[in-house]
Amino acid sequence: MPHVLIIEDSYLFGQFVSDAAVLAGAASVEVVDTQAAAEAAASRRTPNIIIADVKLRHGSGVKAVEHIVAGERDIPVLYVTGYPEHLSGCPTDATIVEKPVSHDALRLTIGQLIADRRTRSSSLH
């Protein structure tokens, strides 16, 4: 069961995403609201999936993801943003969902990332 790191500076939307992730099959979820907190959280526990907003009050979700996935880590990334035009430099295989988004659509998207992650992991063993 995957650990999901959510990078979102809106408390209420972070809880909305967290709830969708749990319903989609996440075993654990950590919600952080700054770039620095995201990088620290990932160093404590490597996430299996990252869900990030692009613009944060303190830092950049894109930069946080860039630092977290640097190297050999194969971590699926989902950007949930109202600013898709600010996604330059994001991983080319990242999934992008524009705000506003329904809870069901978000849960289904996260569920697909979890299923894809399981498929990739089982094919490596």
pLDDT in tens, 6-27: 999 999 999 999 999 999 999 9
User: What CA–CA distance (Å, rounded) separates 76 from 115?
Assistant: 11
Position of tokens 């898709």?
Answer: 84
pLDDT reading at 46 higher than 70: yes
Residue 6 and residue 21 in contact, taking contact as beta carbons nearer than 8 Å = yes
- Three-state DSSP class for residue 112: helix
pLDDT reading at 72 higher than 80: no
